[in-house]
Structure 1
Amino acid sequence: MGKFIFTVQGEGRGHLTQAISLSQIAQEAGHEVIGYAVGSTNNRKIPSFFTDYIGDKPLLQYDSPSLCYGNGKAVKVGKTALQVISKFKTYWKSASELGKFIEQNKPDGIINFYESITGLHQWRTGATIPCISIGHQYLLLNKHFQTIPEKKLDQFFLNLNTQITAIGSKKKLGLSFLPLENDTQRNIDVIPPLLRKEVKELKAISGKNWLAYLTHFRLAEDIMAWSKLNPDIQLDCFWDHPIRKEIYHYSDNLTFHPINAELYLEKMSHCAGLISTAGFESIAEAMYLAKPTMMVPVPNHIEQMINAFDASQSGAGLAANSFDLTLFKDYQKEHQTDYSTYQQWIQESSRLMDMHLRELIQPNPKKKSSWNSLFAKRIHWTFPKNNGGLSFPKA
């Protein structure tokens, strides 16, 4: 059995909940997670549902790239890309901090939940510790995956970032709503969504209230406006608001809640449907509980656009361009999906992940590939104090 460190992208709740799910699977299979490293921006607080779960296990938090929203609701693609250049020195320091954390805890392997600093660390150190990268984003690199036809440039940059996160990984595991053929040429295996046992243990009840989950608080403005015109629909909305940290009763039929994993799952199990910004994890949980979903990607968020397309093709619900919830109201009257295939696919996650964890830490007798040979020697690059530029070692 192996000892692992999990490195997790801390933006939103998706990758954090996936890390919890795999922690549960690993523990049941006899493995041990000995530490967690979470990347976030501007020292953003790690949600309590995650810190409460890991308890007193070693935890490292460091600066990591994230999406930039500017002053509006849309993702700023250019600003997001430029931060990697403008803050590279900070991210190099984060990779160094992660390296020290790994050296102190001495894991057998690293499990990376789409954390870009992990790729930088693996490049910096020569990938001396075996690593697997997990996320729905890796499925997008699978040649068998069907994506949207538009925004090819945005898709290129998304896939480039995905490749960076997986530098030095022995394998990439693409989370998929439904079974799909592995891409052996690109070393991508397809696995089911990683759902926490708390989700699997829920008993779904057909309720009347609608549930909403927003990855950015500014998107709530559209839901507020719609709720005023439709007082007959009761809405519970979860958000991560920078100021409103308590329950906020906006009106008689709309209540906002701070992120709370248990309460969110409780309300999902009793809701009539989910309104989501097309985050993978929320859709996966709703499908397991047989709840129809309305997916409204954040403007310019290419990953969520692809998620919404993929999920609608998989029978999750309705993909839309705006929070015109009247569309969802009409859709629920005709929504019919058999979720049994999806629920059976979810049951395969424990077996497949145990297999991948075991394979990761097994000695590889095969000859190293030319790609791996790039990491044969540790790279000793430092930032001099005088000018902040890169200093290369002498030959």
Structure 2
Amino acid sequence: MKILFVIQGEGRGHLTQALSLRQKLADEGHEIVGVLVGKSPARRLPGFFSEKIGVPVYPFESPNFLPSAKNKQVNLVRSVAYNLFRLHKYLSSIRYINRMIKETGADVVVNFYELLTGLTYLFCHPKALMVCIAHQYLFLHPDFVFPGQNRLSLVSLKFFTRMTAIGATKKLALSFRKMREVPSERIVVVPPLLRKEVLETTPVNGDYLHGYLLNSGFSEEIRSWHKVHPNVALHIFWDKKEVRPEVKVDSFLSFHQLNDTLFIRYMAGAKAYATTAGFESVCEAMYLGKPVLMVPTHIEQSCNAFDAVQAGAGVVADRFDLDALLELSRTHRPNPAFSHWVKQADWLILREFRPDLLMEETPASLWRRLSTRWIYRLGKTLSI
């Protein structure tokens, strides 16, 4: 089959998942005909992704959350205003996605949680079938347990997630653990999509702390902690523009530009890992046996972090309290069931791309059925 990827490009999680899935699908004989990446001017596409994906990459402008003035937490009001102002650009992106689906001759579109892909299927009705894949589709699972959050925030999160999946033939929900399928929602729960480089890495227990900051404003918290603990080595990755590949504060603290090979190498040798609670890197740390401190920046990450704690990943905090991480590193015990679950990813995910299963329903009949059910499901979301 000819397969087109469309990826929500914020952070590194969906990008590394796409790298992993591309390799698995190519090994099965499928052709990846292109990769569309939604991004905003505030973010840049990491160089490692363009180098390793092995197919043409086409960026387009997509809605994004904006950080606060200190570049830490998400500023919701500012984000909404910014995205409304750029609405005309997003309409152009929808037309562009639809055109690329036609021009590449894709049989299947794999959507990595990009909102505009769902809107493309809502307004343009492409003929290609769509398969959605992300941890966020677990939020639609009736057995998923949410942290104590504002009800409106949870409604908004589930509504956004449904919007990304309008017209999808199935939703592959990446999960820390095995859960039942939900045929009524077309949800199939599958293991995390870890790349071969992670699976083949041999971890060691080093003497430094590793970290990833989605928003570079958190670097001030890292620097402040380092002043009190100057002899604890820290290797922190960020996506800060216009700085050197490595900003070496002193012999114990370094900030690194996002480089995936280097990131995994430092992960494998770390004592423990601190992050802004993205799903993918937490899974990598768990697989390599590293305890995790998670500092969520918005509700989606709060849900990720809460779920990860239940799976034995580590602890959640509202700031980068690395004292707590050092203490955790002394008592943490990896969850052996997680590694076993991850190793089932190939066959559990690839079976969902079998042509006989995907093509048993025509795009037209699929759209008629899904469009009649979507209003009902939207009502369920708003009533939670």
Q: Does 1:307 align with 2:304?
A: yes
> For residue 332 of structure 1, what is the aligned residue in structure 2?
329
Query: How far apart in 1 are the matches of 2:324 and 2:53?
Result: 40
C-alpha displacement at 1:44, in angstroms? 4.1
Q: Alpha-carbon deviation of 1:117?
A: 1.3
Aligned to 2:191: 192
Residue 354 of structure 1: aligned partner: 350
Matched to 1:61, the amino acid is: P
Distance 1:162 1:18, change over 3 A: same
- 1:180-329 counterparts in 2 under 5 A? 180-298=179-297, 301-329=298-326
Counterpart code for 2:350: D
The offset of 1:133, in angstroms, is 0.8
Identical amino acids, percent of aligned pairs: 36
Kindly indicate whether the alpha-carbon contact (under 8 Å) linking 2:205 and 2:269 is maintained by their aligned counterparts in 1.
yes
| 1:143-190 C-alpha deviation (Å, 9 max, x unpaired) | 111111222211211111111111111111111011112222222111
Whether the 8 Å contact between 2:64 and 2:79 is mirrored in structure 1 is: yes
Shift of 1:58: 2.5
Q: Distance in 1 between matches of 2:366 and 2:248?
A: 59
Q: What letter is aligned with 2:110?
A: I
1:58-207 equivalent positions in 2, closer than 5 A: 58-72=56-70, 73-207=72-206
For residues 373 and 127 of structure 1, the distance between their equivalents in structure 2, rounded to whole angstroms, comes to 14
Q: Structure 1 residues 82 and 186 mapped into 2: Cα distance closer, same or farther (>3 Å)?
A: farther
Is the Cα contact below 8 Å between 2:167 and 2:366 reproduced in 1?
no
Aligned position for 1:345: 341
Per the TM alignment, residue 28 of structure 1 is displaced from its structure 2 partner at its CA by: 1.7
1:334-353 deviation digits (Å, cap 9, x = unpaired):
2123x321111111111122
Structure showing greater radius of gyration is: 1
Amino acid at match of 1:67: F
Aligned-partner Cα distance in 2 for 1:201–1:330? 28
How far did residue 52 of structure 1 move?
A: 0.3
Q: Is the deviation greater in 365-374 or in 194-203?
A: 365-374
CA deviation after TM superposition for structure 1 residue 367, in Å: 5.7
1:392 maps to: none
The one-letter amino acid of 1:319's match is V
Q: Which residue of 1 aligns with 2:380?
A: none
Match of 1:382 in 2: none
Structure 1 residue 86 displacement after superposition: 2.7
CA shift for structure 1 position 368: 4.8
Query: Is 2:113–2:134's contact at 8 Å kept on the other side of the alignment?
Result: yes
Q: Give the distance between the partners of 2:264 and 2:201, measured in 1 at CA.
A: 8
Secondary structure of the residue aligned to 1:38 is strand
Name the SS of the counterpart of 1:35 in structure 2.
strand
Q: Number of residues paired by the alignment?
A: 370
Query: Structure 1 residue 369: deviation in Å?
Result: 6.8
Over 3 Å counting, the alpha-carbon distance change for 1:88 and 1:241 in structure 2 is: same
Contact persistence 1:43–1:63 (CA under 8 A): no
- Larger helix share, 1 or 2: 2
Alpha-carbon distance in structure 2 between the residues aligned to 1:141 and 1:82: 27
Encode CA deviations 1:343-376: one digit per residue, 9 max, x unaligned. Answer: 111111111221111256423179657544579x
| Partner AA of 2:125 in structure 1 | G
Secondary structure of the 2:354 match is: helix
- AA aligned to 1:5 is L
Structure 1 distance, partners of 2:359, 2:349, is 14
Deviations 1:272-318 (A, max 9, x none): 110111110110001111111111112xx001111111111100111
SS at match of 2:181: coil
**Which one-letter code corresponds to 2:231 in the other structure?**
D
CA distance in 2, matches of 1:332, 1:177: 20
For 2:321 and 2:354, locate their aligned partners in 1 and report how far apart those are by CA, in whole Å.
47
**Alignment-derived partner of residue 380 in structure 1:** none
Structural RMSD (CA) = 1.8
SS at match of 1:332: helix
In structure 2, stretches of 5+ residues that fail to align are 374-384
- The 3-state SS of whatever aligns with 1:112 is strand
Consecutive unaligned residues in structure 1, runs of 5 or more: 376-395
- Note the alpha carbon deviations across 1:108-166, whole angstroms, 9 max, x for none: 10000001111111112114210011111110111111111222211211111111111
With normalisation by structure 1, the TM-score equals 0.90
On the 8 A contact 1:268/1:286 being kept in 2, the answer is: yes
**Whole-Å separation in 2 of the counterparts to 1:34 and 1:43:** 27
Contact persistence 2:236–2:256 (CA under 8 A): yes
